[in-house]
């Protein structure tokens, strides 16, 4: 039975990925050095460049490892919804839940890296480094296109430009909710850390986002700009 030799203690590559994920979340990309990563992963300093080629390629691998399955789950969920609907328009809130759920599911895995990752991800949308934003954008693009189309079909009456902005708002709310660790505590006053309840959070988010998405249109494009 030599087959189970697949995972000795944990293969060097994934030990590096785990360590990098945790440290990126804690100190950011520029704030995390190769020496910190390799020390935490208990591997030699040169191992990162050997296995990944460069620090930047490691960053990319950290994102791909979890983001690709996550977006695949989003697309699968949308497929399922559309199949069940048999051509009928989808309920906006159902689309929202399909998009939000995969990221919240990662929040639940607690001590596993998923929780770290999802917070890291929430922060990545606003990264200063152009390369990283581009990477994130590229990884999101396919799922984003699908969801944009779904919303357009579900909200045929809404002006496209307004819809784009509302998707932007929804995206921001989600990203920020995932990334921010302190702010709820800041607003709430104290609230120690009862573990995130992902199910309840999904209810709250879905209610908030669905209402925002369906809000009455503002007195619109009329040029009232001239001060």
The residue (of 51 and 108) whose beta carbon lies closer to a copy of itself is: 108
- Check residue 21 for interaction with DNA (CB under 7 A): no
Q: How far is the CB of 5 from DNA (least distance, A)?
A: 8
Q: Site residues for DNA, window 40-99 (CB under 7 A)?
A: 43-51, 54-56
35 binds, options a copy of itself, DNA, none, Cβ within 5 to 8 A by partner type: DNA
Residue given tokens 């000795």 in the structure block: 8
Report CA-CA distances (Å) from 225 to 155, 162, 217, 221.
27, 17, 18, 10
The piece of 28-36, 42-50, 57-65, 76-84 that touches a copy of itself (CB under 8 A) is 28-36
- Check residue 132 for interaction with DNA (CB under 7 A): no
- How many C-beta neighbours within 10 Å does residue 88 have? 9
Q: Which residue from 139, 166, 142 is spatially nearest to 152, judged by alpha carbons?
A: 166
87 binds, options DNA, a copy of itself, none, Cβ within 5 to 8 A by partner type: none
CB-count burial class (<10 Å; 0-12, 13-18, 19+) for 108: middle
What gap in Å lies between CA 210 and CA 95, rounded to an integer? Answer: 9
Among 55, 109, 173, 196, binds a copy of itself (CB under 8 A): 173
Backbone angles phi and psi of 215, in degrees to 5: -60, 150
> For the chain, what's the residue count?
227
Q: How far is the CB of 22 from a copy of itself (least distance, A)?
A: 12
Judged by the rule CB under 7 A, the positions of this chain that interact with DNA are: 2, 12, 32-36, 43-51, 54-56
């Amino acid at each position: 039975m030599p087959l189970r030799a697949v995972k000795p203690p944990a293969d060097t590559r994934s030990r590096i990925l785990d360590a990098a994920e945790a440290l990126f979340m804690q100190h950011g990309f520029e704030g995390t050095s190769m020496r910190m990563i390799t020390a935490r992963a208990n591997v030699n300093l040169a191992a990162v460049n050997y296995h990944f080629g460069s620090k930047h390629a490691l960053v990319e691998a950290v994102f791909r490892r979890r983001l690709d399955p996550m977006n695949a789950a989003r697309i699968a969920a949308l497929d399922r919804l559309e199949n069940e609907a048999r051509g009928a328009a989808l309920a906006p809130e159902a689309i929202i839940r399909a998009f939000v759920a995969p990221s919240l599911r990662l929040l639940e895995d607690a001590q596993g890296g998923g929780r770290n990752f999802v917070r890291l991800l929430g922060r990545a949308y606003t990264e200063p480094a152009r390369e990283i934003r581009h990477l994130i954008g590229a990884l999101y693009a396919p799922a984003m296109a699908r969801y944009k189309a779904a919303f357009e079909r579900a909200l045929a009456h809404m002006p496209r430009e307004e819809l784009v902005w509302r998707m932007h708002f929804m995206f921001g709310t989600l990203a920020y909710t995932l990334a921010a660790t302190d702010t709820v505590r800041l607003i709430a006053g104290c609230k120690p850390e009862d573990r995130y309840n992902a199910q309840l959070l999904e209810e709250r988010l879905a209610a908030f986002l669905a209402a925002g998405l369906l809000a009455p249109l503002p007195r619109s494009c009329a040029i009232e700009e001239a001060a």
